């Protein structure tokens, strides 16, 4: 797709966001249903074993689904050779890393004190090679604003994992139901991505000089991904080693549920923001307006979702999953700051990449690395609630760092950022405190049977939204004005 006029690009982005929303809604709906069903078929310990066994796989996948794909998205010349270069570089690294994972599987058994963890790690090592096959097709589809990646590939991945893992769990496969579902999901994704992208190797040639050139752009992004994954690995190791396998299962499900609403919003926006920012980065005023608009919409969606989780996260999880998963509910509530921090990180990182300043993202990564692990070690004696608080504080500090860095590059003042962010934050805090008091002092939804309890949760959610909108309208009518205009047009 060639560079579009302002109106044309806006239309493409609006269409892309709508299609992404549809795809993400399908993925999150499937993921939620799969999490609920598996929570009743598998124990926290079994899910904890899978989490521990795949901890290194999720870490090394950043190399096989490499940051070179971001360099390919931004590439403006020699595209065929660039795609061929990225393909072979990621495929070779994926094969090498799969061998390393297979060889180091016994280390995980010793670390977690569970022989099954090592078996799961060995069995899962091949997923890294499968992941590497998607790097080029995914990047090319995102580069050309082909949103079939969101509406077909991602839902197919989620559906394959849900169907195979639930079927296996019902048949009594235990943790191996999750491993089998993992492979099924990646296989479906690879087939769908290659089919939809239409790209095939052999149309260009591998060029070492081109690889070096793209590696210069990709290296800061690789560092950022490595640090982010390293923090996640350390979290899993500390929780699994210092607490127990059941707590690790609660950690995994709680983390997934806490991220469901906010990551859906972030993924919808970030998928279109990077290529869009890359195209308008040369027009300073347009870039500045685009950044503030994207940040405002992201903030307006993520902040109330996170605040609502803080108010009623624990009773909601207990009602949906059962009392053995109460720890996951505690984690959902205390992780409320993670979504807010990630919203700031996401928009800022996409803007810095679009501006050709990816090395500044390492500043955010450094803050995350320097705060997450010390806070986790300090607060881990408080159990999963301490884990959630540590992750929230670290994410907020990292997001604020990204906000400062991106603001300097784009030319956004502190006053503009304040007007964009403060009103929604204040409204969300007021609404969360009010609904939290209502739940703790009056309704006690989590103490009821499932059906009436969920009914009370729905009432609390509606009351939260109404109070949030009322407060926001009172303190900053301009914030909601674009929403009312869109509603009237619709």
343 or 278, higher pLDDT: 343
Q: Is the pLDDT of residue 439 over 70?
A: yes
Give the mean pLDDT of the chain. 85
Q: Which of 55, 38, 41 is nearest to 240 (CA)?
A: 55
Handedness of CA 36, 260, 458, 444 (dihedral sign): positive
- Residue 472: pLDDT above 70? yes
Contact 120, 54 (CB under 8 A): yes
Nearest to 256 by CA among 317, 195, 302, 199: 317
* The predicted structure's pLDDT at residue 5: 39
Given CA atoms 292, 293, 298, 304 in this order, what sign does their dihedral have? positive
Among 105-119, 230-244, 329-343, the range scoring the smallest mean pLDDT is 230-244
Give one DSSP letter per residue of 41-96, joined into a string.
Answer: HS-HHHHHHHHHHTHHHHHHHHHHT-THHHHHHH--S-HHHHHHHHHHHHHHHHHH
What's the whole-number mean pLDDT along residues 339-347?
Answer: 88
| Sequential DSSP letters for 265-296 | HHHHHHHHHHHHHHHHTTSHHHHHHHHHHHHH
Query: What is the average per-residue pLDDT within 99-115?
Result: 89
Half-sphere exposure of 261 (CA within 13 A, CB side): 21
- For the chain, the first-to-last Cα distance in angstroms comes to 28
What pLDDT does residue 487 have? 67
Give the pLDDT confidence of 42-86 residue by residue, as tens digits: 988 899 899 889 888 877 776 666 677 777 877 777 888 989 998
- Tell me what pLDDT residue 69 has: 79
Q: Which residue has the higher pLDDT, 42 or 13?
A: 42
Query: Does residue 4 register a pLDDT over 60?
Result: no
Alpha carbon distance 36, 323 (integer Å): 13
């Amino acid at each position: 797709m060639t560079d579009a006029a302002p109106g044309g690009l806006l239309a493409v982005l609006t269409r892309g966001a709508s299609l992404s929303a549809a795809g993400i809604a399908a993925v999150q709906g499937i993921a939620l249903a799969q999490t609920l069903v598996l929570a009743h078929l598998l124990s926290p310990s079994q899910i904890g074993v899978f989490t521990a066994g795949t901890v290194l796989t999720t870490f090394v996948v950043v190399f096989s689904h490499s940051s070179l794909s971001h360099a390919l998205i931004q590439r403006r010349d020699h595209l065929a050779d660039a795609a061929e270069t990225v393909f072979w570089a990621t495929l070779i690294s994926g094969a090498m890393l799969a061998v390393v994972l297979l060889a180091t599987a016994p280390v995980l058994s010793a670390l977690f004190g569970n022989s099954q963890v090592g078996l799961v790690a060995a069995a899962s090592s091949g997923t890294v090679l499968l992941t590497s096959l998607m790097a080029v097709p995914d990047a090319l589809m995102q580069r050309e604003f082909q949103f079939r990646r969101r509406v077909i590939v991602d839902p197919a991945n989620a559906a394959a994992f849900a169907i195979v893992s639930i079927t296996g769990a019902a048949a009594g496969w235990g943790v191996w139901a999750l491993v089998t579902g993992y492979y099924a999901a990646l296989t479906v994704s690879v087939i769908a991505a290659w089919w939809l992208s239409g790209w095939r190797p052999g149309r260009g040639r591998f060029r070492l000089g081109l690889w070096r050139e793209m590696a210069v752009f990709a290296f800061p992004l690789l560092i950022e991904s490595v640090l982010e994954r390293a923090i996640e690995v350390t979290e899993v190791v500390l929780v699994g080693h210092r607490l127990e396998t059941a707590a690790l299962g609660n950690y995994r499900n709680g983390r997934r549920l806490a991220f469901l609403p906010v990551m859906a919003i972030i993924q919808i926006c970030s998928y279109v923001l990077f290529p869009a920012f890359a195209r308008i980065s040369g027009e300073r005023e347009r870039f500045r307006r685009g950044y503030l608009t994207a940040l405002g919409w992201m903030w307006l969606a993520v902040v109330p979702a996170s605040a609502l989780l803080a108010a009623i996260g624990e009773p909601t999880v207990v009602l949906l999953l059962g009392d053995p998963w109460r720890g996951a509910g505690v984690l959902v509530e205390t992780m409320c700051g993670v979504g807010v921090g990630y919203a700031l990180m996401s928009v800022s990182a996409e803007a810095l990449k679009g501006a050709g300043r990816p090395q500044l993202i390492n500043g955010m990564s450094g803050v995350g690395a320097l705060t997450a692990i010390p806070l986790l070690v300090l607060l881990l004696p408080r159990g999963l609630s301490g884990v959630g608080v540590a992750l929230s504080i670290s994410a907020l500090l990292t997001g604020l760092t990204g906000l400062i860095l991106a603001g300097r590059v784009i030319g956004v003042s502190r006053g503009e950022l304040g007007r964009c962010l403060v009103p929604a934050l204040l409204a969300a805090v007021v609404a969360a405190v009010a609904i939290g008091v209502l739940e703790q002092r009056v309704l006690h939804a989590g103490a009821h049977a499932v059906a009436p309890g969920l009914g009370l949760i729905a009432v609390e959610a509606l009351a939260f939204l109404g109070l949030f909108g009322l407060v926001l309208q009172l303190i900053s009518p301009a914030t909601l004005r674009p929403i009312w205009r869109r509603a009237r047009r619709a």
